[in-house]
């Protein structure tokens, strides 16, 4: 991989991304990793954030430097044509990429549903050793006293990216009260899992499938949930301060009593999130 490809990878972009896409990707990542948002009493995480922000800054500057602005009308016209061509190619690549992801997700979910219970028993035995917990699958649902959340599992939204086939299927697993701080569950399938009261602060959960999951009273402080599927999820009294839910699907989710900021200041990022039928923290339903 050459340096240019690495810079695109740092910002989570495909090669040929536009200046606007580079700027937006930089803003999204800076929102998560800016050192000013890290508690000063956590030097290890603070050092990690400083290294990340340097990496993000370098990637942005390098990618912007290869897109110089024109100095006369002819140059500007050529740059405009080149930019439009790049945008069209990038849009086509992104469309093909999303379509491929969605088709793969449908195929993988079909396989997961056919073997869900058997695989969960075998895989959770191995998985428990990684986190020191005695976790077990919960085939009867994430919590029996809240039947309203045990609705049939909807199809994940197009923004949800399923994990690779070799990654364990954790749907229906019981991680109640588990310490999963700073873990990486990106793209994993945790539909209908019980994560109530779990510590998921600073955890990477982008493109994760949390359809129907129980996250009541969980700590999602500064968690990365970009593009996550949270359809019909239970987020009652969940701490969402500093979390990034950009592009997430929260259709039908229950956020009653969830912590989203201080006073009138909202400190959750919801850019592009779907909120159809979502029960908001104040108990009202988003239309």
Over 90: is that where the pLDDT of 74 sits? Answer: no
d(CA 222, CA 256): 19
107-111, 170-174, 191-195, 212-216: lowest mean pLDDT where? 107-111
Higher pLDDT, 67 or 259: 259
Beta-carbon contacts of residue 233 (< 8 Å; ≥ 6 apart) = 149, 210, 211, 212, 213, 214, 215, 250, 253, 254
* Residue 222 token pair: 């500064």
Mean pLDDT, rounded, for 232-243: 95
d(CA 36, CA 39): 8
Q: For residue 128, what pLDDT band results from cuts at 50, 70 and 90?
A: very low
Vertex 237 angle, CA 234 and 241, to 5°: 105
Q: What is the pLDDT of residue 157?
A: 47
Backbone angles phi, psi at 249, to 5 degrees: -105, 110
CA torsion 184→187→189→193, rounded to 10°? 40
Over 50: is that where the pLDDT of 177 sits? Answer: yes
- Contact (CB, 8 A) for 175 and 122: no
Backbone angles phi, psi at 283, to 5 degrees: 95, -10
Beta-carbon contacts of residue 124 (< 8 Å; ≥ 6 apart) = 135, 136, 137, 168, 170, 173
Q: What distances in angstroms separate CA 179 from CA 37, 72, 93, 125, one per listed residue?
A: 21, 58, 38, 17
Q: Write down the pTM of the prediction.
A: 0.46
Mean pLDDT, rounded, for 34-51: 89
Q: What is the pLDDT of residue 138?
A: 47
d(CA 141, CA 192): 6
Mean pLDDT of the chain: 78
Burial string for 248-258 (b: 16+ CB within 10 Å, else e) reads: bbbbbbbbbeb
Mean pLDDT, rounded, for 5-33: 91
47-56, 137-146, 234-243: lowest mean pLDDT where? 137-146
Over 50: is that where the pLDDT of 164 sits? Answer: no
152-166, 168-182, 189-203, 243-257: lowest mean pLDDT where? 152-166
Mean pLDDT, rounded, for 194-214: 94
- Residue 8 Cα to chain centre, angstroms: 19
Higher pLDDT, 279 or 100: 279
């Amino acid at each position: 991989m050459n340096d240019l490809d690495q810079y695109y990878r740092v910002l989570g972009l495909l090669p040929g991304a536009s200046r606007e896409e580079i700027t937006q990707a930089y803003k999204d990542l800076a929102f998560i990793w800016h050192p000013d948002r890290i508690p000063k009493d956590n030097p290890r995480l603070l050092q990690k954030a400083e290294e990340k922000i340097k990496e993000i800054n370098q990637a942005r500057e390098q990618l912007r430097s290869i897109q110089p602005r024109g100095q006369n009308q002819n140059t500007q016209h050529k740059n405009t044509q080149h930019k439009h061509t790049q945008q069209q190619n990038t849009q086509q690549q992104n469309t093909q990429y999303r379509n491929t992801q969605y088709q793969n997700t449908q195929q993988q979910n079909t396989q997961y549903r056919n073997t869900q219970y058997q695989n969960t028993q075998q895989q959770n035995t191995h998985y428990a050793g990684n986190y020191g917990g005695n976790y077990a699958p919960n085939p009867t649902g994430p919590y029996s006293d809240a039947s309203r959340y045990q609705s049939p599992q909807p199809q994940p939204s197009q923004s949800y990216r399923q994990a690779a086939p070799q990654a364990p299927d954790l749907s229906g697993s019981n991680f109640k009260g588990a310490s999963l701080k700073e873990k990486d569950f990106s793209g994993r399938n945790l539909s209908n899992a019980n994560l109530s009261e779990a510590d998921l602060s600073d955890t990477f959960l982008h493109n994760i499938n949390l359809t129907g999951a129980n996250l009541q009273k969980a700590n999602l402080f500064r968690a990365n949930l970009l593009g996550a599927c949270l359809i019909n999820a239970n987020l009652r009294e969940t701490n969402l301060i500093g979390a990034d839910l950009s592009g997430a699907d929260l259709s039908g989710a229950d956020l009653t009593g969830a912590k989203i900021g201080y006073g009138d200041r909202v400190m959750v990022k919801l850019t592009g999130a779907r909120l159809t039928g979502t029960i908001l923290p104040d108990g009202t339903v988003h239309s």
